[in-house]
């Protein structure tokens, strides 16, 4: 007698990812606390460390209440890369009303910082690990 297995497919609506913008930052010589210092100084933010993501990757957060955005700085290199296919050391993740924020100006600002090699946008829909990051309840600003 053959065994029959039931398979259930979980279909999660990922439409909320349209409200996400991610920058990859290459800065192999820059520790996360120095990058946070530069962002706090130059962008006039207040990035503060929250719980580590997956208990291993440093995670810092800043909220832009007027823009209705939450910004996260997430490490991609310690202990091993979170997303090894991306050639970056950090992710700067924005979620909320991204259409009203000038990410081009932010990219230029980051590129002008000391020890930054490159900054480039990342398509969140290519990386399940990054998609899962945004499934947490407190990622999007309360409106």
Mean pLDDT of all residues in 123-132? 91
Q: What confidence score (pLDDT) does residue 9 get?
A: 46
| Number of C-beta neighbours around residue 77 at 10 A | 16
Domains and CATH numbers, the chain: 15-133 (3.30.310)
Instruction: Assign 136 a pLDDT band (cuts: 50, 70, 90).
Output: confident
Sheet holding 90-96, edge to edge: 48-49, 59-64, 69-75, 90-96, 20-26, 118-122
pLDDT of residue 14: 60
Helix (H) or strand (E) holding 36: helix 32-42
State whether residue 52 is helix, strand or coil. Answer: coil
**Which pTM value belongs to this model?**
0.86
């Amino acid at each position: 007698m053959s065994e029959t297995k039931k398979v259930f497919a979980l279909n999660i609506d990922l439409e909320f990812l349209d409200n996400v913008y991610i920058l990859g930052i290459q800065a192999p010589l820059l520790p996360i606390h120095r990058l946070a210092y530069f962002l706090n100084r130059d962008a006039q933010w207040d990035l503060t460390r929250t719980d580590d993501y997956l208990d291993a990757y440093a995670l810092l957060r800043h909220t832009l209440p007027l823009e209705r955005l939450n910004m996260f700085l997430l490490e991609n290199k310690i202990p091993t890369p979170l997303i090894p296919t991306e050639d970056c050391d950090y992710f700067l993740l924005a979620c909320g009303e991204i259409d009203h924020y000038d990410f081009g100006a932010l990219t230029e600002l980051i590129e002008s910082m000391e020890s930054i090699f490159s900054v480039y946008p990342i398509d969140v829909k290519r990386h399940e690990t990054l998609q899962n990051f945004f499934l947490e309840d407190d990622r999007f600003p309360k409106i």
